[in-house]
Amino acid sequence: MSLAALVMAPLLNNVSLELPSIDGLRGAAAQYERYVPFLHMSVAVGGETRESATGDYTALRLGTLLQLRCYFHNSGGAWLSRLPAGNMDGWFFGSSIELATDSTHDDADHRWLGTTLSIGGISEVGYRIVPWRELAITPHMGVSLHEDIDLRGHVPAELRPGFVYGVDVGWLF
């Protein structure tokens, strides 16, 4: 493919929203994804904020991520997709790195208990469908590995594995 063809090629973008908290919907994550033709994959950046504890304690999480996704294409387009979404539909494999802070507050004593820095990675597989116009629905699941570091230095760092899953709803443009 020539440089002129790469410059003139239509670029696909996706903006999606995910509600990461299922216990009261106290949080949200947003992501912007862009297909890069010469890499044959997409690059995404995102952020999240959520409140993850209730009662006597409040925990606040703020985070960001950088993700690469490689879409596997078939000749017939993605299953359940009404319109061709170009290069950002069907099966994909993705890897991301995340950086977040988690702060815990004692509501009874009105004091902050501590903050941890979480650094980690996720490998996931998913399937994007475009069932109506440019609406994109993307279920995905995978595994994660995070290192939690106490910023005060009172608790040793902890490496924790995890299982991740979710459904993003977005719009291709």
pLDDT in tens, 31-89: 899 888 777 789 999 998 887 766 677 778 899 999 999 988 654 566 666 655 567 88
Give yes or no for residue 123 having a pLDDT over 90.
Answer: yes
DSSP summary character for residue 83: S
d(CA 131, CA 134): 8
Structural domain including 107 reads 3-172
Q: How many domains does the chain have?
A: 1
E-assigned strands of 19-157? 27-36, 41-51, 57-72, 90-106, 111-132, 135-150
pLDDT in tens, 143-166: 999 998 888 877 788 888 999 888
Looking at residue 21, its pLDDT comes to 55
Query: What does pTM read for this prediction?
Result: 0.77
What's the CATH number where 158 sits?
A: 2.40.160
pLDDT in tens, 73-114: 654 566 666 655 567 888 899 999 999 988 877 777 777 777
Q: Are 115 and 102 in contact (CB under 8 A)?
A: yes
